[in-house]
Amino acid sequence: MALSPEEVRKVAQLAHLELSADEEARLAGELSQILEYMERLTSLDTEGVAPLDHVHEATCPMRDDEVRPSLPVGDALANAPEKEGTSIVVPKIIEDGS
């Protein structure tokens, strides 16, 4: 499927992109190649191939949840610009609806 520079211009306008005439012509060629490749993929026999959501068997390693010592409160508050008791005071960013 070959894209014309006019089609690229229309997509660019929808995406709020400003392209020069040279960029439109170059992208028309590059996007056409991508679409042709995708069309070739539709002709592949995928019968019996299980769908997948990721090409790698990525797993998130789990660890036991165990209590460990944490940063002392004094150290955690040392660089806070404003504190109240054992809490850091931050500016209010959400108004209460009243």
- Percent of the chain residues past pLDDT 70, beyond the cut: 98
Distances (CA, A) of 81 to 34, 73, 87, 93: 53, 15, 11, 17
- Percent of the chain residues past pLDDT 90, beyond the cut: 60
- Determine if the pTM surpasses 0.75: no
Q: Whole-angstrom Cα distance, residue 26 to residue 98?
A: 56
In the structure encoding, which two tokens stand for residue 23, read together?
Answer: 């960029």
State the pLDDT confidence band at 98, using cuts at 50, 70 and 90.
Answer: low
* Residue-range domains of the chain with CATH: 5-41 (1.10.20)
pLDDT tens readout for residues 18-54: 999 999 999 999 999 999 999 998 898 989 888 887 7
Residue length of the chain: 98
Q: Which has the closest alpha carbon to 28: 6, 58, 56, 54?
A: 6
